[in-house]
Amino acid sequence: MNADTSPRELDAAWGNVHPVHCKNCRAGFLIPANAGAPVCPNCLAARLEPLPALEADAPPELVIPFSVSDATLDANLERWRRDIPFRSPSLNVSALRANLKRFFIPMYLADASAFGTWHAQMGFDYLVASSEERFDGSGWVTQRLNETRVRWEPRAGELTRKYENVSAPALEQHARMMLALGASNWREPPFDTSRSIRFSADALNGAIVRVPDIAPNAAWQFARAQIERVAARECETASGAQHHEQFSLRAAYGEPHWTLLLLPMSVTHYIGDDGKFIPVRVNGQSGFVSGIKRASMQRARNWTIVIALVALLAFFLTALLGIAGALNDAFVIPALLVLLATFFLCLAAPAPLIAAWQFNRQNAEK
Amino acid sequence: MLDERRARMSESPIPSDFIHVESKLDGITVYAPASRVENIPDARDFKCPNCGATTAYSPRAASVTCSNCGSVYAIHADNVGRGAAEFEFTLETVKQAETYSAPEVLRGWGVTRRELHCESCGANTSVAPTELSTTCPFCASNRVAARTAMPEIFRPRFLIPFQIERDACARFSREWLKRGWMYPSDLVRVAYNAQFTGIYLSFWTFSARVQAAWRAEVGREKTEQFFDMSEMKFKTRHRLEWKWEQGQVALPFDDELQTGTTRISASLLKRLAPYQLNALVTYEPSYLAGWRAQSYEISLNDAWDAARGRMREIARDACDEQIDSNHVRNFSMNAAFDDEAWRLLLLPAYLATYKFAGKSYQIVINGQTGKVAGDKPVAWTKVWLIVGILILPGILLAAVALVLGALHFGTGGWFVLGGFLFVVGAVIAVILIQQAMRAGEA
C-alpha cells in the first residue's frame, strides 16, 4: 500500500464513492454516490449514514471478482433452505435472490522475510509389522498387517526464508466472517487468492466496500503467527518429517510489505417471526451459503391449531357415534375407530411446535 | 537494523550435541541429535591389570576377579529388570531378521568364521559367528566378542548374570539324580563326574496385547414337558437349543520367553524356567569373561512365529472359558495383535552331559535359580518288578479261588476279591509305567 498518494489520486483510484457508517454495528463502508442510504450489509439492523471523511484513504491493490453463476447461487440457496421445517414465507429462493446485496470485505496480504532459529519435535512415520489371526475350526490363518506409527525426535535449525501473501485480518470480525464464508479454519481464507485482479474502480461494479478497522501494524501479530505456522510446516518438510509439535521460532522479520485485498461476499435475508431480518451470507467466489436457520414458530403454531381443531371435530364425531352406538350396535365400531383417530390426532397436534422448537434450539446462534 | 537482529538471533545456538543433517528445503538448515553410539569394542581380553593373569566373572563376588592375586574389579552395568528396553517389529527389523534367518547363516556355516586375536599370546582363534566368547586354547586367556556377525539390532543388550557358582552344580545335580526310586542305583556315582559348563544362552522375550473376538453356536440343554399320546401322560425330555453367541477377550502378554538356541531341546529349556527377569542388567562384556556365550540360532521371525502361536492358543482357551457349555459348534475367532515388542537376552545355564550304559544324557541347571532339568535313564527292571508285585496277588488269589471253586469249595467271594485286587494293581501299574516313561525325559 502506498501512503503517499495525493487526495485527488485517491478519489480517482476509488471512483465515485463516499464514506458511510452504521450507527448500530459501527462498521464503515464506501458506497457508490448514487446508492442512497442502503441497509447495513453487516448487521441488517440500520441504514447506513454518511461520514464526513474517508477513513480508508488508500485504495486496495487487489480484488477478487464475484464469480458465482446465478444457477449455482440458486442451487446453493435451495440446498441451504431445504432442511428448514415450517419455513417463513420470505424464506424462498426468489425472495432471497431479490434481497441479495453484493459487497466486498477487506483482508491484508503480508510479505516479509524471516531469519532465525527454530526448535521442534518432529514426527516421522514408520511402518511396523503386525498380524491378525483367524481361527475357523480348520486351523489358523495369519494375515500380515503393516501399521503406521510416529517416532518423535527433536530437531533444530536455522531459517532464512521469504514469505509472500500471508493472510492477515483487516476486520475485527474477520474470523467469524471467514468461518461464515466456508473456511474450516479461519486462518485459511476460503478464497482462491491467485484469481485476484488488480483493483480498479470498475472492478467494484457498484458494490459496497467494507472499510478495514484494523491497521496493518495491528494486523502484524496475526501475520507473524501465520508466518510461524507456515514456517513450522516448512521446517517439517525440510526435516523429512510428517508431523510436528512444540515448534518455536526465534526470528527477525524484514522487508515487510502489505497488500489490501477485497474479498467478494453477498448478504441476503429472510424475515423472522419477530419481523427482524435474519442474514444469509454467500461467498462471492465459491457460492458457499451460511446463516442462521430458523423455523417459523408461527407457522408451526398454525399447523398445531389446525390439527387440534381436527382432533376436536373428531372428538365430537366420536361422541355422536357413541350416542348412536348406544341405540344401534352398528355404530359402536365406527365410534371406536374415530376415537382412536382422535387419540392420535391429539398426540400429533403439538408435534409441529415441538419439531420447530427443537430445530431452532439445535441451530441457535452460538 | 535487520542485520543487527540477525546477529542477535544467531546468538541462540543449536544444542551442542546436535549435528547437521540433510535438509529438503532451501533456506532451512536442520540439526538432529547425534546418535548415541555405544562405545563397545568388537572384542575385549580379560587380563588382571595387577598381575597380568587371566580374569573371569565370579558369581560369588558379582564382579570380575583374578584367581591369581585375588583382585576384584566391579562391573558397571545398570540393573534394568523388566523395564529393559523393548524393540518394535519395524519393517526394517523384520527384513533384517529374514536376511539372517537362514540356518547356515545362523549356525555360522557358509559365512566367514570370525577370528579372535589373543592379545596375550598372539594366537588367532577361529570361532563361529554365534559364539560370543572364547578361551584361548594356547594360553587360556578369556576373550569376549561384544558384537556378533549379526546386525547391530540383534546384538544382545541385556542379560542375567550367573548367580550360581559352578561348584554348586554337582550338589544340585546329585540331589536331582537321587530323586525318585525308578532310576539305576549307581546313577549318582556314574553321573557325579559330569563336567558342567557355564554358558549364556540366547532367549527372545515377546510382549503383545491380543484382542480376540469369538463367535460360535452354543448348545444349551433345555428340559421340557410333552404329552405322550401313546401312553396318554405327560413326560419330560431334554433337548439342545443352539444359539449363536459371541464374546471378546483382551489378553496382555508380557515378557514371554522363547528360546533362541537349537542345541538344547525346547522342552528341556522350558523346564528350566522361570528366570527372574527382575535381575536383568544391561549387557557388559565383563559378565561373559570366563564363561561361554552363544548368540541366537533361531531367528527373531521364527521365534516370534512360535511365541505368537502360543499366545493365540492361550487366547483361544480364554475364549473357550467364556462359553459355559460343553456343546459348541462352528467356533471361529479373530485375534488381533497390537503393541508387539521383542528383546534379545542372554540367560545363564550350566550344561553337562554324562554317559550311562553307553547312552548320553543331558543335565541343564538354571544359572540364576539352580533349578535342574535333564534326562535320566529309567531302571525298567525295577519298574517291571514293582508292576509284577502289584498285579500278581490279584491273579494268584483269583486263580486259587478258581481252582477251589472247581473242587466245589464255595470260593466265589475270593474270586471276586482276587479280580478286584488285580484291577486295582493294574491301574496302579499303568500309572507307574506312565510315570517311568515321563521320568525318562525329566
Q: What's A105's DSSP letter? A: E
Q: What percentage of chain B carries pLDDT values higher than 90?
A: 31
CB < 8 Å to A251, chain B:
9
- Indicate if ipTM > 0.85: no
Nearest Cβ partner of A252 from B9, B14, B22?
B9
State residue B111's pLDDT score: 40
Q: Is residue A366's pLDDT more than 60?
A: no
Average pLDDT across chain B, whole number: 82
Nearest Cβ partner of B28 from A129, A132, A159?
A159
Q: Note whether A140 and A266 are same-domain residues.
A: no
Q: Is residue A77's pLDDT more than 90?
A: yes
> Is A217 within a domain?
no
Range ranked top by mean pLDDT from A7-11, A82-86, B42-46, B403-407: A82-86
Yes or no, beta carbons of A128 and B89 under 8 Å apart: yes
Under 8 Å between Cβ of B182 and B435: yes
State residue B340's pLDDT score: 93
* Confidence band, pLDDT 50/70/90 cuts, at residue B157: confident
Q: Is residue A351's pLDDT more than 70?
A: yes
Q: Note whether A285 and A161 are same-domain residues.
A: yes
Average of pLDDT values for A333-350? Answer: 92
Nearest Cβ partner of A128 from B31, B88, B336?
B88
Final residue before a domain boundary, out of A269, A292, A315: A292
Closest alpha carbon within chain B to A253: B2
Q: How far is A7 from chain B (nearest CA, A)?
A: 33
Yes or no, beta carbons of A238 and B316 under 8 Å apart: no
**Residues of chain A in Cβ contact (below 8 Å) with chain B:** 115-117, 126-137, 140, 146, 149, 153-161, 234-235, 237-240, 250-252, 254-255
| Among B21, B31, B320, the residue to mutate for chain A (most A Cβ within 10 A) | B31
State residue B123's pLDDT score: 60
Per DSSP, the residues of A265-322 read EEEEEEE-TTS-EEEEEEETTT--EEE-----HHHHHHHHHHHHHHHHHHHHHHHHHH
Closest alpha carbon within chain A to B20: A157
Q: How far is A224 from chain B (nearest CA, A)?
A: 16
Q: Note whether A203 and A341 are same-domain residues.
A: no
Q: Which three cell numbers stand for residue A362?
A: 439445535
State residue B101's pLDDT score: 61
Nearest Cβ partner of B5 from A137, A235, A252?
A252
State residue A201's pLDDT score: 81
> Is A267 within a domain?
yes
Q: Note whether A167 and A315 are same-domain residues.
A: no
Q: A72-86, A227-241, A278-292, B254-268: which has the minimum mean pLDDT?
A: B254-268
> Is A41 within a domain?
yes
Q: Note whether A91 and A176 are same-domain residues.
A: yes
| Among A135, A138, A148, the residue to mutate for chain B (most B Cβ within 10 A) | A135
State residue A305's pLDDT score: 95
> Is A117 within a domain?
no
Q: Is residue A250's pLDDT more than 80?
A: yes
Q: Note whether A38 and A86 are same-domain residues.
A: yes
CB < 8 Å to A146, chain B:
91
Q: Is residue B106's pLDDT more than 50?
A: no
pLDDT in tens, B421-437: 889 989 998 998 888 88
* Confidence band, pLDDT 50/70/90 cuts, at residue B145: low
Yes or no, beta carbons of B29 and A115 under 8 Å apart: no
Q: B45-49, B147-151, B427-431: which has the minimum mean pLDDT?
A: B147-151
Q: Note whether A196 and A164 are same-domain residues.
A: yes
* Confidence band, pLDDT 50/70/90 cuts, at residue B108: very low
Q: A83-92, B332-341, B414-423: which has the minimum mean pLDDT?
A: B414-423
Strand pairing class (A101-135; A208-210): parallel
pLDDT in tens, B79-89: 999 999 899 99
Final residue before a domain boundary, out of A135, A151, A167: A151
**Residues of chain B in Cβ contact (below 8 Å) with chain A:** 1-2, 5-6, 8-10, 12-15, 18, 21-25, 27-33, 88-91, 94, 308-309, 312, 316, 330-338, 340
> Which whole-number Å values give the CA distances from B264 to A9, A29, B425, in the listed order?
97, 90, 38
State residue B107's pLDDT score: 47
Q: Note whether A51 and A98 are same-domain residues.
A: yes
State residue B36's pLDDT score: 60
State residue A190's pLDDT score: 93
Average of pLDDT values for B175-180? Answer: 83
> Is A228 within a domain?
no
* Confidence band, pLDDT 50/70/90 cuts, at residue B46: confident
SS3 A16: coil
State residue A53's pLDDT score: 62
Amino acid at A182: G
Closest alpha carbon within chain B to A149: B90
State residue B316's pLDDT score: 94
Domain, as residue range, for A354: 298-362
Q: Is residue B182's pLDDT more than 50?
A: yes
Q: How far is B342 from chain A (nearest CA, A)?
A: 12
Spatial CB neighbours of B297, under 8 Å, sequence gap ≥ 6 = B106, B107, B130, B202, B260, B261, B262, B263
* Confidence band, pLDDT 50/70/90 cuts, at residue A138: confident
> Is A72 within a domain?
yes
State residue B356's pLDDT score: 82
State residue A57's pLDDT score: 60
Q: What percentage of chain A carries pLDDT values higher than 70?
A: 94
* Confidence band, pLDDT 50/70/90 cuts, at residue B225: confident
- B176/B252: higher pLDDT: B252
Q: How far is B210 from chain A (nearest CA, A)?
A: 9
Q: Note whether A143 and A164 are same-domain residues.
A: no
Q: Note whether A277 and A314 are same-domain residues.
A: no
